[in-house]
Structures are given as C-alpha cells and as structure tokens.
Amino acid sequence: MSSSTSSIRTCAATTTSRASGSTPIGSSSRAKGPKRASSSLSLRVVRIRIIAVGKAKDRDLRSLLGDYYTRIGRYAKLEEIEIKDGKVAEVAERLARSIPDRSRVVALEVDGQSMSSRGLATWLERAENQSVQTVVFLIGGAYGLPPELSKKADLRLSLSAMTLPHRLARLFLAEQIYRGFSILRGEPYDH
C-alpha cells in the first residue's frame, strides 16, 4: 500500500507527491516558467488544474501529455493532479480537497453538455474575463466521477457521446484546452 494519494504536475516540469517531495520530470529549459504568447487580446492569466482519478503511467501517453501541457503553459499556469482510485467516498474526498476555493469546476461526463472547440474557447475566455483564478477539470476513473461532485460542477462537459478511457480523455482534454487558447489568441492551430 502506498502512502501517497495524489501527485501534482505543474507545467509538466515537476511532479510532487505529498509523501516524497518534488522530482524533475522534464527538461531544465522550462524552469523559468511558461512564456506568454504575444497577442492583441489582453486576457488575464488563468490557472488550469486537471484533476484525474488514476495515474497515466504509459511513457508514450506521458510524452504526449507533456507536449500539450508545455504548449498550454504558454497561455496559462497548468497543474495536473493524479488522485489514487479507491472507494467512492474516499475518491470524492480526495477530489474535493484538490479543488481550490472560488474555482470554476468542469466535470467531464459522458452525459454532459456537448461543446465545439470554439465553444470551449468562448467558455475559457469568459472565465478569464470574469477574473476566475482557477479552472478545474475533473476526470473520473473507471466508474466515473462521484455524483455529488459532478452535480456541483459549474459545467458538466462531454468530450464525446462515446465513453472514453480516462487516460485518453485526459489527452483529448489537453488538446482541446490548447486548441481553445490558440483560438482565443488568433493563432493558426485551429482548422
């Protein structure tokens, strides 16, 4: 049994386990922090926190996530928190403790609201313009999210009408967050 119940990744540069401290996982070139893209829009810096039940251990998946997390880091501060799976009540408590006060919470649910990439970009822009400090995306494990957390979310978002494995949902979400910020900044990524 492990004594750590979660880990945190910030801009894909470090991992923090509440039991063991900080360990570098990326190149040292990211140590100075993300660079903001120049833009005619003067949007506020928002913090993105992706909280996922379960660990993304696969090296190829971690590499892809790291790439998108680095890209997102040009626009927003990013944290990834991995919550240990377990009994529903324990998972609900761990998730709730990881959500900062006054956050805007998005629960990823198969029966949530469908949204285009431009729709997500608009939603993120509204959060920035309303001076929301942190936007939290919750990704459930094998049995989804605890219903009480999902009901309290500001947005219940569906990435697809199909059920996605939580690891794939995390990658898909990272790509869409990056695409959303690219759309907002008028960058040519969106096609």
**Residue 24, pLDDT score:** 30
3 state DSSP class of 182: helix
**Residue 71, pLDDT score:** 96
- Tokens 């991995």, residue? 82
pLDDT digits 0-9 by tens, 122-165: 999 999 999 999 999 999 988 889 999 999 999 999 999 888 88
Contact between 95 and 166 under an 8 Å Cβ cutoff? The reply is: no
Q: Which two tokens stand for residue 117?
A: 């990439």
d(CA 52, CA 91): 10
- Tokens 């759309």, residue? 183
Q: Which two tokens stand for residue 15?
A: 């991992």
Q: How far apart are the first and last CA of the chain?
A: 46
**Residue 46, pLDDT score:** 86
110 burial via Cβ count (<10 Å: 0-12, 13-18, 19+):
middle
- Identify the band that residue 20 occupies on the pLDDT scale cut at 50, 70 and 90: very low
3 state DSSP class of 82: strand
CATH class of 6-19+43-184: alpha beta
* DSSP type of residue 38: P
Nearest to 5 by CA among 79, 90, 62, 67: 90
3 state DSSP class of 142: coil
Alpha helices in 30-78 (DSSP H): 59-72
Q: Which two tokens stand for residue 49?
A: 């926190």
